[in-house]
Structure 1
Amino acid sequence: MNEQALVKASVIEIFNKNGYSDPARMTQRDFDYIGEQLAQKSGILISGTTIKRLAYGEFTRLPQVATLNAIANYYDYKTWQDFKAGKIDEGPAKESAKEPERRFNIKYWSVPVVIIILGSFYFFHSTKGTLKNAEKASFSFRKNTPNDIPNSVVFSYNIDEVQADSFFIQQSWNENRKRRIYKKTYTLTDIYYEPGYHIAKLIANDAVIKTADVSIPTDRWFFYAIDNIANYTTQYIKVDTFNNNGSLGLRIQQLQENNIEVSKDKRYHYVYFPSQMDIPGDNFRYKTRVRMQEVRNSLCPYIEIELYCQRSFMNMRCTTKGCAHEAFVAFGEQLKKGSDNDLLPITFDVNQWTDIEITVKNKVAVVKINGKEVFSTRYTTDTKYLAGLGYISNGLCEVDKVELYSLDGKAMYKNEF
């Protein structure tokens, strides 16, 4: 196995370890999630685009040393050289026995040819794509308005002393919100269209060299629809009231009043982000009672419950029993997908009222549905504090109750509606 093949195989194996058996079915957010897992073990942040390219073998030269080391660190090796030493040596002898005619002997080459080839090899591997002085970069921001949505944010940066081929600022996990920047310029103004806790990234080549935590809270329930997850077009749903028959929810008429095309397949988001974050993401209790109303006929209706954290995320998609392959559960680095795991226990009739309880104690998560334990896992990611909560569905959720407490009794949110 040559070195390029080893890179690809190692990345695919990381996907498998995180519950992704088919890279072709992965979304950009999935690739970004793998980047976060690499960062957890190595301290080296790698963009989801780079990881995707490595998985598909879309590279003609080896990645940067930092990227290679991050992969090696994931497997508990100190450096890429240490990692490949035990891997590449497994096959060369066999290859030599099979195809000796394909091997060339450098002693038959002329000296000028050798010099040119070695010189070109050194040039392309030592200069193109190199990254140096990353620690000398600076990166900060300020919000032009307190917590309005949308919100203009002014990023200040200095990359003059950093050696790299290209630079970008990316708002958060969504690579569609990435802007290119250049040396000798120091300010970029960008717009956040969604509330939440965002981690902005300063990127050199394909490596994240600085981050900034951008919090845009709502202190109220905020509603929006997404028409196309690839283009991530956000449509706000502005309403005078969100009380639907005594529950938190919206009506189809309210969607139409906001010019939402209900005939299209959309994801409807109800989110709440407080200004104050003091509930630890590794020790809390969450209870809710929820159901959904279909907006259009869907083969697999679902309800997603998301607990947003300053780092990583906690997310659970519940759907009908016949669509169990579409379900998933995520806590920190632990991602279980219905396509690779038996998640039938978390499925139910999403059109009927259902009680869901999530308890996390010292990074051990337990999920109960209608009082019965249906899932548990242990994770290692440091999630820091809870930053918000949300309900996401391909229909309209109705929420009858929400309670979110720290284990010592401090309330982040409570409402019986």
Structure 2
Amino acid sequence: MVSDSTDLLRCKQLIERKLDWGASESWTSVDFENLQQRILEETSVSLSASTLRRIWGRVDYQHLPSNTTLNTLAQFAGYSDWRTFIKSQAPTDLPPTPVERLPVEPVRPTINWVKLSWIAGFVVAIILVGIVAFDQKQSQLNADQYSFSSKPLTRSIPNSVIFTYNSSASPTDSVYIQQSWDSRRRTLVDKDAQTHTSIYYEPGFYRAKLLVGTQIVREHPLLIPTNGWLGLIATKPVPVYLKSPEFIGPDKMRLPLAEIERKNVPLQPQVPLIKYFNVGNFDPVPLTDFSFTSEVKNEYGEGAAVCQQTWLELITDDMPITIPLSTKGCVSELSLLDGSRMVSGKKTNLSRLGVDFSNWINVSCTSDGHKLYYHINGELAYEATLPQKKVSIVGIAYGFMGTGAVRNINLQANGKRVFHDF
């Protein structure tokens, strides 16, 4: 079976339209894991998250996918197999276009290249004028004519947020509220209305935006806090929320496998993602001088959970800081955020983030005002330059593929303890 990149691009576009998650360039590692689960549920075929990242260009890979992968993608896009999808793209499958029959000329006409090039230049000029006019129209929007605010209703999760806005000055009906940086959470609203509500299933720091067309006219920070520690199993579309006694003990956080099974969440072949959050319960900590330490242990490594992927996250009022861990043989699949950029294990040596989870792993992240340092069991594993703008830590989160435990959490600012637990 032969294919080309144009067919694959078209198939990906159909999948993106079906998912309605926004531009694929903004998809995160968790999105590809969710896509893996969606494909498995609908086709009974498991394409790994790493394969999907390669297909969507997150990893440099010049070869076309296998026939099995192509068939699975086509099935998820709504076709019986890849061959059927290819046939559906052929021009012969389109309704015939009426064509007026012209008399056969005895002599083939000569193309007037001068006239043709003049026409082409005129068309390009018209397009450019249109683009400039559109940009000028966009630039004429006056942000002072718009207002936008929000109010969370509770400190518990899920949390509904009331957005209040005024966009009556909009020259178009294309007015959107975007709940965060994630364009999947963009909703078309009535430009003449004043209220819109949204629900947040996970806590965190978000930057809500009011858009007119493609232009952001207003935005503001939005903190969705927790009331102490929140534990959940990240199922879709709604997580399975945990009661405190199910995962919080006197000296650690830990979700036993038996509790997951009691929730009727299967452990195989799609491994559950367990998350613990604590957001908005301490004063913001500047990145310029802080120290964070904790101990973690991933406690499930069977079947598809063989990599025991785990991460710690310092939630900030900008890009978060994530510290990913896995077994040593799986570090190629890791990616981290250092407050400024995403770093892929495909292009960076992250081997020191590979660990043996048979023992507790000591993880630390510190700053000296110039650089950020990750240490694993006392050894330097990664360092990066601090963001130039002012950024502060507002929460802590943990994630475990399978399940895991946490203890000895300490966060300090300027040498003074800000947060401590277990």
Q: TM-score, normalised by structure 2?
A: 0.67
User: Partner residue of 1:182?
Assistant: 190
Please state how far the C-alpha of 1:241 moved relative to its aligned partner. 4.3
Please state how far the C-alpha of 1:165 moved relative to its aligned partner. 6.0
Distance 2:361 2:219 in 1: 39
Distance 1:108 1:306 in 2: 57
Distance 1:249 1:355 in 2: 16
Alignment equivalent of 2:177, drawn from 169, 184, 193:
169
Contact 1:334 1:379 (8 Å CA) reproduced = no
Matched, 1:338 2:345: yes
Matched, 1:256 2:261: yes
User: Partner residue of 2:292?
Assistant: 286
Bigger CA drift: 358-367 or 127-136?
A: 127-136
User: Partner residue of 2:247?
Assistant: 242
Matched, 1:369 2:376: yes
Structure 1 pair 157–295 and aligned structure 2 pair: CA distance change class (3 A): farther
User: Partner residue of 1:347?
Assistant: 354
Letter in 1 for 2:156: D
Alignment of 1:214-253 (within 5 A): 214-227=222-235, 233-243=238-248, 246-253=251-258
Contact 1:316 1:327 (8 Å CA) reproduced = no
Letter in 1 for 2:180: S
Contact 1:318 1:350 (8 Å CA) reproduced = no
Letter in 1 for 2:283: M
Contact 1:227 1:265 (8 Å CA) reproduced = no
Please state how far the C-alpha of 1:119 moved relative to its aligned partner. 4.9
The Cα offsets for residues 319-360 of structure 1, whole Å up to 9 and x where unpaired, read as 111111112232121332110011111211134211111111
Matched, 1:138 2:147: yes
In structure 2, the gaps of 5 or more residues are 1-22, 32-55, 58-110
User: Partner residue of 1:28?
Assistant: 27
Distance 2:295 2:118 in 1: 75
Contact 1:283 1:363 (8 Å CA) reproduced = no
Distance 1:190 1:166 in 2: 18
Letter in 2 for 1:273: V
Contact 1:310 1:386 (8 Å CA) reproduced = yes
Letter in 2 for 1:138: S
Alignment equivalent of 1:403, drawn from 400, 406, 410:
410
Please state how far the C-alpha of 1:175 moved relative to its aligned partner. 3.1
Structure 1 pair 170–104 and aligned structure 2 pair: CA distance change class (3 A): farther
Alignment equivalent of 2:309, drawn from 298, 302, 308:
302
User: Partner residue of 1:387?
Assistant: 394
Structure 1 pair 108–217 and aligned structure 2 pair: CA distance change class (3 A): closer
Give 4+ residue runs of structure 1 displaced > 6 Å after superposition: 113-117
Distance 2:161 2:394 in 1: 19
Q: TM-score, normalised by structure 1?
A: 0.68
Bigger CA drift: 361-370 or 233-242?
A: 233-242
Distance 1:247 1:104 in 2: 78
The Cα offsets for residues 379-411 of structure 1, whole Å up to 9 and x where unpaired, read as 3243532110011110212112111111231x3
Structure 1 pair 293–138 and aligned structure 2 pair: CA distance change class (3 A): same
Q: RMSD over aligned Cα, in angstroms?
A: 3.4
Distance 2:183 2:127 in 1: 33
Please state how far the C-alpha of 1:189 moved relative to its aligned partner. 1.2
Aligned residues: 320
Distance 2:259 2:252 in 1: 15
Please state how far the C-alpha of 1:133 moved relative to its aligned partner. 1.0
Distance 1:178 1:117 in 2: 33
Letter in 2 for 1:349: D
Contact 1:365 1:378 (8 Å CA) reproduced = yes
Using the aligned pairs only, state the percent identity.
22
Structure 1 pair 165–25 and aligned structure 2 pair: CA distance change class (3 A): closer
For residue 261 of structure 2, give the secondary structure of its aligned residue in structure 1. helix
The Cα offsets for residues 86-122 of structure 1, whole Å up to 9 and x where unpaired, read as xxxxxxxxxxxxxxxx996569858xx9888755653
Alignment equivalent of 2:205, drawn from 188, 197, 202:
197
Whose radius of gyration is greater, 1 or 2? Answer: 2
Distance 2:132 2:344 in 1: 39
Structure 1 pair 247–205 and aligned structure 2 pair: CA distance change class (3 A): same
Contact 1:244 1:251 (8 Å CA) reproduced = no
